[in-house]
Amino acid sequence: MKTLVYGVVDDNLVILPEEVAVAYASDREAIFALKTFGEAIHFKPKAGNYAPGADDWEDYFEERPADDEPYDAAAFLEQWPEYEWPPAAATIALEEMPEDLDDIGEQVEDFPFVPTLQVSPELEAQIVSTIRGRGYEIRRDDELIWRV
């Protein structure tokens, strides 16, 4: 049986497959621990994540930084505040929700032109009941959802 996790982020009930949430959270933690540009370029994500400024370096640097050059994801994001990373958990939910649950929530163009899946937290009990009724396990894990 597939397990889903959910939590509330910015007044939105975010629902993800547990393995997707764990993979994105793990990737995000690993990306902020990268120390060199070479590590960032060669980073192998568990989910659809990437090290900001590494794969698309040509948009931000005149020359590809050397592998041993220092890399700091937080500093990069401070320098380029318009960079849309990390993806919002509610955006990930749009792509990762099981197809038989696509009637839950509503796609909204939010966070400068980035679509998100919006689910009202007021519907929590009803949504959880519906998901369980469709054969899924679901549990609340706000901390994991926030780490995504």
Q: Is 92 exposed, middle or buried (0-12, 13-18, 19+ CB in 10 A)?
A: buried
Tell me what pLDDT residue 80 has. Answer: 86
Name the residue with higher pLDDT: 80 or 131: 131
Whether the Cβ atoms of residue 20 and residue 145 lie closer than 8 Å to each other: no
C-alpha to C-alpha distance for 45 and 27, rounded to whole angstroms: 6
Q: What range does the domain containing 96 cover?
A: 3-147
Would the pLDDT of 110 be above 70? no
Domain count, the chain: 1
Q: What is the pLDDT of residues 20-69, one digit of tens each?
A: 999 999 999 999 999 999 999 999 999 988 999 998 899 889 999 999 99
